[in-house]
Structure 1
Amino acid sequence: MAHIDLGVDEQLFPGIQGLLQYRPETARPLMMLAEVLLRGPSTLSPGERELIAAYVSELNECAYCAASHAAFAAAQLPEGVRLVDEVRADLETAPITPKLRALLRIASAVREDGRNVTAWLVADARAEGASDVEIHDTVLIAAAFSMFNRYVDGLATLTPESPEAYLHGVHRIVRDGYLAGRDRPQST
């Protein structure tokens, strides 16, 4: 049970879902940020960006966010759940590109303390082909998901134990994104 009464059935709205229902005025900007970071235009695929979110959430020990974003990443990566599990288990031996490995190292440093992102980590990512925008977005995804992780765990929201519980939202996120059912930002 969450630390506060969310006014919803936590079985139906576990993790961040209940928090979004509780405060719709904060839900919209948070989901707009997630939409831009994880699904907006980028040279990193949505699956790669979801993998960054899952990896940071795993390192932060946020079971809800790690499981949900691992499921979203797996659905959008050709290698699926096997690759996601390998990255979550051991970044250094996972079969990913050197560029993605370098970006995930940056993400790991951000989640510990933003000041841990060194010029060496950035230079390594650039040497592996990462652009400044990809480095920027990796830092922002890691920072945002550290916040999301603390939001979910700080209010002790329900974390389903069954891996299947995280699969029901996958198709909705992949198909419709994070703003489904919310006002979409206007194009300018």
Structure 2
Amino acid sequence: MPHIALPENMPGITAGFAFRPETAKPMRDLAHVLLHESGNEGLSSRDRELIAAFVSSRNTCYFCQTSHAAAANHLNGGDASLSNHIVRDYVSAPVSPKLKALLAIAAEVQIDGKRVTPELVAEARAQGATDHDIHDTVLIAAAFCMYNRYVDGLATVQPRGEEMYRDMGKMMAENGYRRADG
């Protein structure tokens, strides 16, 4: 049961967004830019969603982990094995050395941003990461710590139905995070 009177029948972050639309807009915009508008430079949307799901799993935020894994899965042809593997053990996941190095950075940001060392950054660069990739990885990890704590700190409703998350992930992957009505 949520700690405050959130709109009923709205899961996770959507309830908090409905409660305070004026704070929802910049939060949605940030998620949209970080996860959906990767442009022609840097990480793919799939990899960005994987980072979001990974950080959310480390923060034990079921709603964010499951919804962003579902978006990554949709962008991965519907296959959930990669997101499951990354959440379980990213080091042995079948992804590029570059993404593994960036996940190592995200893992440290999730604990404390000061734990990102010059050695971790050098390894990411050695694996092909650009300054843009490193910047966005740090910001995705930091933002998802905030989003996760927002969702869990309000004790939002976090349903366990796979179909809902699959549909949500498809919508997020295809349309992004900005609402059509502003």
Category of TM-score, reference length = shorter chain:
over 0.9
Counterpart pick for 2:24 among 27, 32, 49: 27
RMSD, aligned α-carbons: 1.2
Q: Percent identity?
A: 49
Mapped contact 2:70–2:170 kept (Cα < 8 A): no
Partners of 2:26 and 2:181 lie apart in 1 by: 10
- 1:79 CA displacement: 7.5
Q: Mean alpha-carbon deviation: is it higher for 28-37 or for 41-50?
A: 41-50
Where does structure 1 differ by over 3 angstroms across 4 or more consecutive aligned residues? Answer: none
Q: Mean alpha-carbon deviation: is it higher for 102-111 or for 71-80?
A: 71-80
Equivalent residue number for residue 148 of structure 2: 149
Q: Which has the higher contact order (CA 8 A, sep 6+)?
A: 2
Aligned positions of 1:165-176 closer than 5 A: 165-176=164-175
Q: Mean alpha-carbon deviation: is it higher for 34-43 or for 76-85?
A: 76-85
- TM-score of the pair, normalised by structure 2: 0.95
SS state at 1:73 partner: helix
Equivalent residue number for residue 76 of structure 2: 77
- 1:93 CA displacement: 1.0
Mapped contact 2:101–2:124 kept (Cα < 8 A): yes
- 1:161 CA displacement: 1.6
Give the paired residue count: 180
Amino acid at match of 2:139: L
Equivalent residue number for residue 120 of structure 2: 121
Amino acid at match of 1:118: T
Deviations 1:77-107 (A, max 9, x none): 2572111111111111111100000000000
Mapped contact 1:48–1:77 kept (Cα < 8 A): no
Aligned positions of 1:102-141 closer than 5 A: 102-141=101-140
Partners of 2:178 and 2:25 lie apart in 1 by: 8
CA separation of 1:37 and 1:167: change in aligned 2, threshold 3 A:
same
Partners of 1:3 and 1:152 lie apart in 2 by: 11
SS state at 1:109 partner: helix
Equivalent residue number for residue 17 of structure 1: 14
Amino acid at match of 1:19: G
- TM-score of the pair, normalised by structure 1: 0.92
Deviations 1:102-139 (A, max 9, x none): 00000000010000000000000000000011000000
Higher helix share: 2
Which consecutive residues of structure 2, in runs of 5 or more, have no partner in the other structure? none
Which consecutive residues of structure 1, in runs of 5 or more, have no partner in the other structure? 184-188
Residue 55 (structure 2) pairs with residue 39 (structure 1): no
Equivalent residue number for residue 186 of structure 1: none
